[in-house]
Amino acid sequence: MNRETLEFTRECFRNYYTNSNILSPVSMEKREWGFIFFDLDAVHMRRHIAFLRAEEFRSYLKNLAPAHVYYSTAYYGSPDAPQMKDKNWSGADLVFDLDADHIKRGSYEEMLLRVKEELFKLLSMLTDELGFSKKEIEIVFSGGRGYHIHIRNAAVYRWGSSERRELIDYICGTGLEPSAVLKFQSDFKENNWKNRMLDSLMEYLVWLDGPDSKQAESSKSIEGVPKKIVEKILEKKDFLIEKISLGELSEKVIDNDVKTILNALLTKKDGNFQKILNERAARADEPVTTDTKRLIRLPSSLHGGTGLQVMKLEWDKIQEFRPLTDATAFEDREVRVELIKPFSGTFSDNSYDIKKGPYRVSESMAVFLFCRGYAELGGSI
């Protein structure tokens, strides 16, 4: 941004923070806060800040109008201590981060649609498999490319990184051992990793017969799998497809054949079976969950990279939520902008396919273009 664009955008943010109901997290006095400001020079975070009261915090936002607002998932005795070792950590919320940038490349709209699929997978795992209640789970649109899930549950409050690692490994399907998975999850009709592993095997065996497969039965070669096991796969392929689809696999077949085949296929980490299995995991950002001292975006704040609201979502509104319409934050008044590179996409129910040059757009669209680096303030139109 040039100086004029930056000042205009900062003033829009200031008006938002002055006139909006800004939320504050539970036990805010125990949280560390961090802010990134609009600056023409190098971007840096100002952190190790604490607020005792919500009024003090909201006044800070109105006066300084930061581009990004973060608070700690952790609770501290001294959240404003300048050294982490002196903060006196007492616990932390359990958080998950779904970022489309780690999942799919494409247009902004395509990435937002794809990451919502991962959101539903993750929510299903948390409630149906891991036993968390909806009342304990807060769902937040990040204002950027994804979603944050906050779990506030006394049972996980004091968990360290290792316990949180075990949970995120389950969510992401990391380090799965077929013997353990197939032994302890026996009900085929429920969602669990036994289901996912068997369904993935069936999909893989069907793929071997399809036009996209480069495997040739005559070659007896499948992704580096030993020849003896390849022969077993090809011999049992049709039988396994039928039995898995009907949910009629016997424990004997699982023990003698399925475990052997799965162990062999899982040794090829970049093989097609592993890719199929990964699609059944929820692709949460693992370091965010294992970090017990993470800073995360504040719901109701603005995202300085888009101008969109960081929004808390109700469970019954997730399906219909449209980030590029529902999370807009500014007025409909027209603003003159100068596009410095072409923009194509949908924003606030309007479709755009515009080239470099001057245009008049809504304030929300203008801030979005400024924050995304597509335009500057002005234009001769």
Quick one: pLDDT at residue 368?
96
Task: Delimit the domains of the chain by residue range.
Answer: 17-170+285-326, 174-278, 334-377
**Cβ pair 32, 72 in contact under 8 A:** yes
pLDDT exceeds cutoff 80 at 95:
yes
CA-closest candidate to residue 153, choices 70, 95, 81 = 95
Per-residue pLDDT tens for 12-36? 999 999 999 999 999 999 999 999 9
Per-residue pLDDT tens for 42-51? 778 999 999 9
pLDDT interval class at 212 (50, 70, 90): low
99 carries an active-site annotation: yes
Name the active-site residue from 97, 128, 316, 326: 97
Q: What is the mean pLDDT of residues 288-294?
A: 95
Q: Which amino acid is at 274?
A: Q
Q: What is the mean pLDDT of residues 293-315?
A: 96
Quick one: pLDDT at residue 250?
86
Q: Which residues contact 373 (CB under 8 A, 6 or more apart)?
A: 1, 340, 341
199 carries an active-site annotation: no
Quick one: pLDDT at residue 269?
80
pLDDT exceeds cutoff 70 at 190:
no
Quick one: pLDDT at residue 218?
42
Output b/e per residue, 282-321; b: 16+ Cβ within 10 A.
bbbbbebbbbbebbbbbbbbbbbbbbbbbbebeeeeeeeb
Architecture category of domain 17-170+285-326 in CATH = Alpha-Beta Complex (3.90)
**Side-chain-facing half-sphere of 304: CA atoms under 13 Å:** 20
Quick one: pLDDT at residue 216?
45
Per-residue pLDDT tens for 36-74? 999 887 778 999 999 999 999 999 999 999 999 999 999
User: Tokens 């319409």 label which residue?
Assistant: 325
CA distance 85 to 367: 39
Share of residues in the chain with pLDDT > 90 (%): 65
The two tokens of residue 4 are: 């004029």
Sign (positive or negative) of CA dihedral 352, 357, 359, 364: positive
353 carries an active-site annotation: no
**Cβ pair 310, 150 in contact under 8 A:** no
**Residue 43 burial class via C-beta count within 10 angstroms: exposed 0-12, middle 13-18, buried 19 and up:** exposed
pLDDT interval class at 185 (50, 70, 90): low
pLDDT exceeds cutoff 60 at 220:
no
Quick one: pLDDT at residue 340?
94
Quick one: pLDDT at residue 219?
47
Name the active-site residue from 93, 99, 257, 291: 99
pTM over 0.85: yes
Q: Which residues contact 206 (CB under 8 A, 6 or more apart)?
A: 241
Name the active-site residue from 39, 128, 209, 285: 285
Q: Which amino acid is at 379?
A: G
Q: What is the mean pLDDT of residues 228-255?
A: 88
Per-residue pLDDT tens for 296-305? 999 999 999 9
Q: What is the mean pLDDT of residues 284-289?
A: 94
